[in-house]
Amino acid sequence: MDPAEERECIQKAASGDHRAFRQLVETHRALTYSIAFRMTRNVAESEDVVQEAFVRVWKNLRRYDAGFRFRTWIAKIVTNLCLDYLKSPRNRKEGGLELAENIAEPGQVYSGIEISELRLAVVRLAELLTPKQKAVFVLRDLEMMEPEEVCKVLDMPAGNMKSNLFHARKKIKEGLEKWYQKDTLWTAGNVKR
């Protein structure tokens, strides 16, 4: 959807047009779900977060600030809901239950790395990050957002964002080095699709 079309949709939806809002949902549901799933690692919870985020968007469309990109605005709502979920006692009790258990044990040596296996390892290691580090890592490295957009989504100064990103990347790297043999891990071309 081009920006002009999106603006028109937002205006129509703000005046109560359900069809226009459906278009907005269809455009942004993939991004919102991807952020939610990468943050919560739980299908049902991700769907609930996305649903809640769109309901909030619908209720507050009249307050939407056109100076913000709509994508940034909705990413901000989803991320905040995910951070609330990650900080909730409910998540602390259930956290990680849905994570696959067949990940390599520390010290196990692999000659080559499957991409699915690597994804699982990164996901598992991301669970060890603080909620803010995880949010910065997901938005910047996995959702490939620009640094300025990440700062806007998280309401975070650039210095703070960079500090969180540094710690997140370092923890992931050190974690991967524990799971895999160092020489194998960092040799180009060892990751197979």
Partner 1 sequence: MDCRKCEEMMYLYAELTAADRAEIYGHLANCQSCSAIFAEIRALNAMVSMIAEDKSMPPSMSNLTHRVMEDIASVQPSFTLWSMLWENKLAFSMAAVSLMLVVTFAQEVLMEDYHVPHKKSLTGARLSVSEFKSLATRQKARVFSWSGCRTPLASAQAVKDCMKSHFKQN
Contacts with partner 1 by CB under 8 A lie at 13-16, 18, 21-22, 25-26, 29-30, 33-34, 37-38, 43, 46-47, 50-51, 54-55, 58-63, 115, 118-119, 122, 141-144, 147, 162, 165-166, 169-170, 172-173, 176, 185-188, 191, 193
Instruction: Output 83 or 142, the one with its CB closest to partner 1.
Output: 142
Nearer to partner 1, 76 or 125 (CB): 125
Q: How far is the CB of 113 from partner 1 (least distance, A)?
A: 8
Q: Shortest distance, CB of residue 1 to partner 1, whole angstroms?
A: 15
SS3 sequence, 41-107?
Answer: CCHHHHHHHHHHHHHHHHHCHHHCCCCCCHHHHHHHHHHHHHHHHHHCHHHHHHCCCCCCCCCCCCC
Q: Which residue has the tokens 């938005």?
A: 139
Q: Give bridge partners of residue 192 from the DSSP assignment.
A: 114
The 10 Å Cβ neighbour count of residue 72 is: 15
The least CB distance from residue 89 to partner 1, in Å, is 25
Residue-level length of the chain: 193
| Pair of tokens at residue 189 | 């071309």
Our CB check for partner 1 shows the closer of 63 and 93 to be 63
CB of 187 to partner 1, least distance (A): 8
